[in-house]
A and B are shown apart, each in its own frame.
Chain A
Amino acid sequence: MVSGQDPIVELRNIVKRFGSVEALSGVSMAVRKGEVLGLLGDNGAGKSTLIKTLAGVYAPDQGEVIVKGEVRRPWTPAAARDAGVETVFQDRALAPQHSIVTNIFMGREITNAVGLLQVKKQIDEANRLMREIGFTSKVFNPESTVGTLSGGERQGVAIARALNNEADVIVLDEPTTALSLTETQKVFRFVEAVKASGRTVVFIGHNIYHVWDVADRFFVIDRGKEAFEGAKSAFAGAEHLIEMMHQLAETGRADTTTLLEETLEPPE
């Protein structure tokens, strides 16, 4: 059943505090199956905190995480990955002294019954994944040390890892920051391919034009609260979205009356 309206992942009334800082004050966000959701907001708005809660890294002080209709508790990183939620974190979450293969299989090693690594299988699989996302070069191979790679190459490792698990939901926290134009194009193609395979993507970015191009729907948070959300069809264009975000930054609220009627077509 592929319906554009089923929330595959839902965060309900998430409150997260760090000491006296309330990074999230009751955010509810639903991600629908098969869509690309653009998560937007200023620096420090709480985007990374929100997706780290979704990834099980942070336990929320209040609220719950619902995946495929089930309230998940306890919600840990391992539970999130088991439930089919893979995350490319803003800091990439890599082990720099280890090889590309080891990083790709971090936490999900291919082993036999007694836990011994299937080295050859992992390397073959890593090669396949790296080819799949166009992440190949003569300069490095699956056994190269991640700490010797460039920023874009490290990003490739993190993406390959997120892809490895056949996840239903892939979360990308600022995947194009610090990437060249060609590398950015590759990330977009990757997002398109993931979407085409019927899977769901949450995409965080600061370049609104970029997010506009890939996303079907936008969810904007501001200082730990939801500001507004809307399908692409609710906006007259990228400029409209940008205009609303400017308003938000300047006045603390955006005029949601300018949003258009959403066309009810599910994202294709």
Chain B
Amino acid sequence: MTDAANPESVADRRGGQSGWNRFYRKNGRALNAFLALVLVWSVFAVNNPVLFLNPLYYNAFLFSVPATIFLTTSLVFVIVSGELDLAFPSVVGAAGGVFMYSVVLGVPVIPAFLLTLAFGALIGVGIGLIVVYGRISSLVATLGLNFFILGIVNLLAQGRTISAPHAMDSFGYTLFVGKWQLFDTTLRIPNHFVWSLAWVVFCYVLFKYHRFGIRVQLVGDNTDSAREMGINIERIRVSVFIVSGIAAAITGALLVQMANMVWFPTSGKAYLLIALAALFVGGTPTWGGVGTIFGAFFGAMTVTLIPSGAVGAGFAGYWTDFIFGLVIILTMIAHRFSGARVR
């Protein structure tokens, strides 16, 4: 409570930041993530301009990046709420199985996809209830659940991989993972990349402009305050696992289709560290309360670009991990400059 009666007479000349300064204060972390992406790309492009300026190179990138985008952006909700989800890789695998079995049993691709989403949401509810009402730390609970769910899937699948090549002629398949040529270029855009962009926009609006997203942030920032102000903490905490479950289900169903309708139970395993690295490179801090969807999007692009890009740029294969680690550490340092935690 400052400057009450007459704010003009007692001049306080401390105020006023420039517009740009304010913009950076608010979006610094997403900007850092974007700069990291540009920087990594530039280093690669300088080393091998012919490859990196050829649109053809990006076909594989656009094909593989959506899985990481779906997973990383949904994790923003989880981490910002103050939880951690390590179970999503198993949900990816399980959801892929649900999708695949539905298709094998004759369900058309689009209804099978919707069924898979429902499955993901349901698993999310289950995980959320265990974490919230079992009062187990989400790190430990989801670590255990990841093994548990994967174990069940493996037991049910008995080591089989299942395929349903007939579905590749369906409209649903084309809708989800079909490709189209961008103008006159050699760039062929896969539909699931477009869907991932739509998902990013959806998550952005949900996170920033919807009551749900704001409450996720408030719960993560100060749980007690949020409770005292009448926010249903438990419902929010369960819900973030539903978001994560749905994203994992989308990813699971997409991975099956991207692999020409073949399902591997362990298809999600590779994404555990990738998605978490993308999240933190993307500028969402570990402590909860704040985060950035666009940052996560750029982070997902960066971590997808590094392994293939490093090889393309002429670094020998064993450089990949080194570059990966370097980028993570450097972006963490950059993020610190755009604001430490305020209490």
Contacts and interface: CB of A to CB of B under 8 A. Distances in A.
- Say whether A and B bind each other: yes
A57 B209 contact: no
Interface in B1-31: 1-5, 7, 12-16
B292 interface: no
A96 interface: yes
A133 interface: yes
B3 A136 contact: yes
B14 to A, nearest CB: 5
Given A115-B212, A145-B342, A186-B4, A97 B15 contact: no
A107 B226 CA distance: 7
Contacts of B12: 137-139
Contact of B229 (A82, A107, A148): A107
Interface in B218-242: 218, 221-222, 224-232
A116 B210 contact: yes
A133 B2 CA distance: 10
Nearest to A157: B1
Contacts of B4: 134-136, 182, 186
Interface string B184-218: 00000000000000000000010001111011011
B289 A106 contact: no
Interface string B54-89: 000000000000000000000000000000000000
Contacts of B166: none
B135 interface: no
A155 B211 contact: no
B224 A93 contact: yes
Contacts of A82: 230
- Output the residue of A137, A159, A186 with the most chain B CB within 10 A: A137
Determine the interface band of chain B, counting residues with CB < 8 A from chain A: 35 or more
A86 B210 CA distance: 24
Given A97-B221, A98-B217, A106 B1 contact: no
A150 to B, nearest CB: 8
Given A93-B222, A94-B222, A96-B342, A155 B1 contact: yes
Interface in A55-77: 55-57, 76-77
B343 A134 contact: no
A57 B228 contact: yes
A138 B13 contact: yes
Given A111-B211, A116-B205, A183-B1, A102 B230 contact: no
Interface in A131-156: 133-140, 145-148, 152-153, 155-156
Nearest to B3: A137
A240 to B, nearest CB: 32
Contacts of A77: 227-230
A241 to B, nearest CB: 27
Contacts of A80: 230
Nearest to B11: A138
Nearest to B343: A96
A196 interface: no
B230 A107 contact: yes
B290 interface: yes
Nearest to A106: B229
A261 B342 CA distance: 53
Interface string A83-108: 00001010111111110001000111
Contacts of A145: 342
Given A95-B222, A95-B226, A137-B7, 5 more contacts: A107-B215, A109-B211, A134-B4, A138-B15, A139-B2
27 contacts: A52-B228, A56-B230, A57-B227, A57-B228, A77-B228, A78-B230, A79-B230, A95-B222, A95-B225, A96-B221, A96-B342, A97-B290, A98-B217, A102-B217, A106-B225, A107-B230, A108-B230, A109-B214, A111-B210, A115-B212, A117-B210, A117-B211, A136-B3, A137-B15, A147-B342, A148-B342, A186-B1
| List of 6 A-B pairs having minimum Cβ-Cβ separation, nearest first | A147-B342, A138-B15, A134-B4, A78-B230, A107-B229, A95-B221
